[in-house]
A = this chain, B = another copy of it.
Amino acid sequence: MTTTLENWAAQIRAGDVRAIARAVSAIENQTSDAEALLKALFPYTGRACRVGITGAPGTGKSTLVDRLADHYRAEKKSVGIIAVDPSSPFTGGAILGDRIRMQGHAGDEGIFIRSMATRGYLGGLAQAAGDTALLLDAAGKDTILVETVGVGQGEIEIVRLADCTIVVLVPGMGDDVQSLKAGLMEIADIFVVNKCDREGAGQFEQRLRAILQIVPECDGWKPPVVRTVATEGQGIDELAHQIAAFRQHFASAPNRSAREIAYWKEWLLRLLHARLIERVATHISESDFDALASEVATRKKDPYAAVNEILYRL
């Protein structure tokens, strides 16, 4: 390890905001520094509480995450926020929202916010988000909030990086269905019914609880339902309490070590996939890929020959 890298790692461990921001950029740009840095930092990870927050667009996730961050800051705990939007390109919305949110916490060194968006047709976003979570863990953040729009499999992969997953629902037609659509019921450790000052909230919560009554427990944990009005700060204390209870429950679980190994096995497979696909991405552009798919669709080329062409270029 060079002295520069050692210094950089030390600055990150001390929580230096610029050093952290530079490291996130290195992760996103997949520079050779990034891996060396993460290797140096890895022994200092494993302390932070990683919380994943997901839900359909419009459920108020960002506001909820901000309020939760305020809650932890009031307890003098440091917070890292990783906001992931797999559906939008790396311009516009995500970055704009980022800056607006940063202003709300301006001057507070105890909170670090970063948005990440799509990484192109070959994916890799989950890996970048996972690396960033490790980075913030090593940087001493007590809680890391990973926020993602829950609409597909990519998002599910991202929340699986967390120890504890919160699914945000909202009373009312569209959202209700949206949330059922994406397989979110399966991954929730805690449910939040946000905007619960809306009409029909009681009925919605009742329906949700009825469904949950017949969902089997997982290792003795039954997902609780927390009612919030994030814009008013209502229910945030209770949510933080449930997160702590969840963490406590599994910290003392008899199968804790098996859970950890399974977690890292999935992590290694994802990283392996990302590394292999990185090699592909440097050799074939998306338009070339589209052209190949088009030739296969019209039976001008078989899919095995198309993939062999790609492998040959490696």
Cα(A265)–Cα(B294), bound, Å: 8
Cα(A214)–Cα(B172), bound, Å: 11
Cα(A297)–Cα(B262), bound, Å: 9
**Which residues between 147 and 171 of chain A lie within 8 Å of chain B, taking CB atoms?**
152-153, 156
Q: Does A280 contact B (CB under 8 A)?
A: yes
Contact B293 A261 (CB under 8 A): yes
> Which of B211, B292, B293, B299 is the one whose CB lies under 8 Å from A42?
B299
Contact A271 B43 (CB under 8 A): no
Cα(A304)–Cα(B264), bound, Å: 12
Contact A265 B290 (CB under 8 A): yes
Cα(A296)–Cα(B270), bound, Å: 14
What band does the interface of chain A fall in when counting residues whose beta carbon is under 8 Å from B? 35 or more
Contact A42 B183 (CB under 8 A): no
**Which residues between 284 and 314 of chain A lie within 8 Å of chain B, taking CB atoms?**
289-290, 292-294, 296-297, 299, 302-307, 310-311
Cα(A307)–Cα(B43), bound, Å: 16
Shortest C-beta distance, A126 to chain B (Å), equals 13
Shortest C-beta distance, A162 to chain B (Å), equals 16
Cα(A265)–Cα(B306), bound, Å: 11
Cα(A276)–Cα(B185), bound, Å: 32
Q: Does A22 contact B (CB under 8 A)?
A: no
Shortest C-beta distance, A272 to chain B (Å), equals 5
Q: Does A180 contact B (CB under 8 A)?
A: yes
> Which of B153, B183, B215, B302 is the one whose CB lies under 8 Å from A38?
B302
Q: A39-B302, A46-B299 are in contact. Are A290 and B261 (CB under 8 A)?
A: yes
Chosen A-B contacts, 22 in total, with CB atoms closer than 8 Å, are A38-B302, A38-B304, A42-B299, A177-B215, A181-B215, A182-B183, A183-B186, A261-B297, A264-B293, A264-B297, A265-B293, A267-B296, A267-B303, A268-B292, A268-B293, A268-B310, A271-B304, A271-B307, A272-B280, A272-B307, A272-B311, A276-B280
A interface residue numbers (CB < 8 A to B): 35, 38-39, 42-43, 45-46, 121-122, 152-153, 156, 173-174, 177, 180-186, 211, 214-215, 257, 260-265, 267-269, 271-273, 275-277, 280, 289-290, 292-294, 296-297, 299, 302-307, 310-311
